[in-house]
């Protein structure tokens, strides 16, 4: 399995993501510069966090027009596994590859903290069994992480089980108090209808090894990979 990590001017979580994927077990991980259009035969593509183009205008709004994005759109349309984390999630929504939008946090401040998330649905036999664990502690670091979608779109997303994760308490309860940024429905991550494009604001790549203090992020990656049967 070969993975590619896209790098934009201002990306700052790309090496973290490369290291995390190697820890998880990828034999080959390459960085893909945003000006290139060759995806180098990667089986899976990841867009990391950071501040692409300095987050001028809206986060992800400029990166959405980088040359590599046309190749990523084709890759996704052909069923390729594509995942965006934090700024990567913002880029995918700006590109129309994921539903909804990411707005300024409701407190109008940058938030850097640990949060708890829980899978929103049991996505059938492809989803891993998480045992008795109902919630996973994953860090967040964003200023524009408040997920928004209009009611009619949220209804469609519920119908097609496109909501991946919701912010919750340590015991897995989805409450207003557990919502760090004001996201509608406590939404922390979503997928497209075809279940091959994924986005989430929390950073699972930061908690994949005991040396980092936790391994919940590894479970999150495995959960997502099983949507496409690639693990």
Total domains, the chain: 1
Cα separation values, 18 from 136, 192, 206, Å: 21, 24, 11
pLDDT digits (tens, 9 = 90+) for 213-224: 889 999 999 888
Can you give the pLDDT at residue 64? 85
The range of the structural domain enclosing residue 197 comes to 2-225
CA angle, corner 82, sides to 78 and 88, nearest 5? 140
Residue 230 lies in a domain: no
pLDDT digits (tens, 9 = 90+) for 134-165: 899 999 999 999 999 999 999 999 999 999 99
3-class DSSP state of 81:
strand
Residue 99 lies in a domain: yes
Can you give the pLDDT at residue 147? 98
- Positions marked active-site: 86, 203, 205
pLDDT over 70 for what percent of the chain?
93
Going by pLDDT thresholds of 50, 70 and 90, the confidence category of residue 231 is very low
Pairing status of strand 28-33 against strand 163-168: unpaired
CA-CA distance, 130 to 214, in Å (whole number)?
Answer: 16
Any idea what the CATH number is for the domain that residue 84 is in? 3.40.50.880
Can you give the pLDDT at residue 123? 52
This prediction has a pTM of 0.93
CA-CA distance, 156 to 143, in Å (whole number)?
Answer: 27
């Amino acid at each position: 399995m070969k993975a590619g990590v896209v790098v934009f001017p201002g990306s700052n979580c790309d090496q973290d993501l490369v290291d995390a994927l190697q820890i998880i077990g990828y034999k080959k991980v390459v960085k893909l510069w945003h000006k290139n259009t060759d995806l180098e035969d990667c089986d899976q593509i990841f867009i990391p966090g950071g501040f692409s183009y300095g987050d001028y205008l809206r986060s992800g709004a400029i990166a959405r027009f980088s040359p590599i994005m046309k190749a990523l759109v084709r890759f996704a349309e052909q069923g390729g596994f594509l995942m965006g984390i934090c700024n990567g999630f913002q880029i995918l929504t700006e590109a129309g590859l994921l539903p909804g939008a990411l707005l300024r946090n409701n407190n109008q401040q940058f938030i850097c903290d640990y949060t708890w998330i829980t899978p929103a649905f049991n996505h059938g036999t492809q989803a891993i069994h998480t045992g008795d664990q109902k919630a996973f502690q994953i860090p967040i670091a964003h200023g524009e992480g408040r997920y928004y979608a209009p009611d009619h779109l949220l209804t469609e997303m519920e119908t097609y089980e496109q909501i991946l994760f919701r912010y919750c308490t340590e015991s897995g309860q989805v409450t207003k108090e557990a919502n760090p940024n004001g996201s509608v429905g406590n939404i922390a991550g979503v997928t497209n209808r075809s279940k091959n494009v994924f986005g989430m604001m929390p950073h699972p790549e930061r908690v994949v090894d005991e040396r980092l203090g936790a391994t919940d992020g590894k479970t999150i990656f495995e959960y997502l990979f099983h949507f496409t049967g690639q693990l």
